[in-house]
């Protein structure tokens, strides 16, 4: 992969203002200048290129190894004077959620974002940050906050999509007929909800550490901003938990309704079976061909037998009807 494709943006900032684009070879000199930091954006860089970045910024070997692997768990780690942060990104693409990762290297005078997989460009965020020179004066911490806020906002956008989907699924679940497709949709959606929750939940701890343990990166003036991202991440995780519980309850209600409907059918079949048992017993009795059955010789025996059968069936039908079995 060409270097140009891997480097999305490389810009130097001083006193809250954009200075100019910086080449990779010049980064090590630029970051030495007072009140200056470099924001470098990378897209799926290769090993050799990341080793070059390591030399320019003085990054730790373990952090570089993690950044080259696109299957890291969300975390925040300290390596000397710099931080290494991994967050999950999520995008809504073709009615599905696609996940990626962004790895951050953060120091007093640099911010490196390394994107892997599904992730929107951070160029609009960079432009928005540059419109706030007062906050940008605080250094790379404000740029880091802006990107984290953008990632969490994407979580919230996907949550709103899930809410719409749940409304449609719930209407199908509150029916007494068993719908295998609806059950499959519930399981699929719950799996997506769990995936997004696993992406959003670690953001709480990452923000918590940034607020309380790393004042050199996140000064006191920026803590309120990071705390806002933390609150949004907590809200996303809480909403996703509520959604999963709603889907579970809806599925249980659907199964209960199906069971009740089946029980009603069984009750009706049992009721009609009881009614049919009366003529079955009587007619089978007279079909046994006993030699001595005196009533068979009576002229009214046939009519009496039919009358008793009908009366017995009618009486039992009335009883079962009143009891709700028919």
Backbone angles phi, psi at 115, to 5 degrees: -95, 140
Q: Which of 70, 69, 71, 66 is nearest to 82 (CA)?
A: 66
Task: Give mean pLDDT, residues 14-39.
Answer: 83
pLDDT at 151: 92
Q: How confident is the model at residue 149 (pLDDT cuts 50, 70, 90)?
A: very high
Beta carbons of 118 and 90 less than 8 angstroms apart:
yes
Q: Classify residue 24 by its DSSP letter.
A: G
Q: Give the chain's radius of gyration (CA, Å).
A: 36
Edge-to-edge strand ranges of the sheet holding 96-107:
17-21, 7-14, 36-43, 110-117, 96-107, 82-93, 75-79
Is pLDDT at 4 greater than 60 in this prediction?
A: no
Q: How confident is the model at residue 271 (pLDDT cuts 50, 70, 90)?
A: confident
Strands 36-43 and 110-117: parallel
Q: How confident is the model at residue 65 (pLDDT cuts 50, 70, 90)?
A: confident
């Amino acid at each position: 992969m060409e270097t140009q494709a891997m480097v999305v943006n490389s810009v130097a900032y001083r006193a809250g203002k954009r200075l100019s684009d910086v080449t990779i070879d010049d980064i090590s000199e630029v970051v030495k200048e007072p009140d200056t930091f470099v924001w470098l954006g990378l897209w799926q860089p290769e090993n050799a290129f990341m080793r070059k970045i390591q030399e320019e910024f003085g990054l730790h070997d373990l952090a570089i190894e993690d950044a080259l692997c696109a299957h890291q768990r969300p975390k925040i780690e300290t390596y000397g004077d710099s931080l290494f942060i991994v967050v999950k990104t999520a995008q809504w693409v073709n009615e599905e959620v696609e996940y990626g990762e962004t790895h951050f290297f953060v120091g007093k005078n640099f911010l490196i974002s390394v994107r892997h997989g599904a992730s929107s460009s951070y160029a609009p965020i960079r432009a928005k940050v540059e419109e706030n020179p007062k906050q940008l004066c605080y250094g790379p911490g404000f740029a880091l906050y802006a990107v984290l806020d953008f990632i969490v906002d994407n979580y919230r956008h996907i949550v709103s999509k899930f809410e719409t989907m749940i409304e449609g699924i719930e209407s199908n679940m509150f029916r007494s007929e068993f719908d295998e497709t609806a059950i499959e949709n519930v399981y699929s959606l719950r799996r997506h909800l769990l995936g997004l929750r696993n992406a959003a939940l670690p953001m709480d701890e990452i923000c918590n550490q940034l607020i309380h343990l790393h004042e050199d990166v996140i000064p006191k003036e920026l803590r309120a901003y990071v705390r806002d991202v933390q609150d949004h991440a907590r809200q996303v995780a809480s909403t996703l938990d509520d959604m999963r519980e709603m889907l579970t309850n809806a599925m249980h209600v659907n199964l209960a309704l199906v069971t009740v409907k089946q029980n009603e059918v069984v009750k009706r079949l049992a009721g009609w079976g009881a009614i049919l048992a009366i003529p079955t017993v009587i007619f089978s009795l007279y079909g046994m061909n006993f030699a001595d059955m005196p009533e068979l010789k009576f002229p009214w025996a046939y009519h009496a037998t039919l009358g008793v059968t009908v009366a017995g069936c009618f009486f039992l039908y009335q009883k079962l009807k009143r009891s709700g079995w028919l």
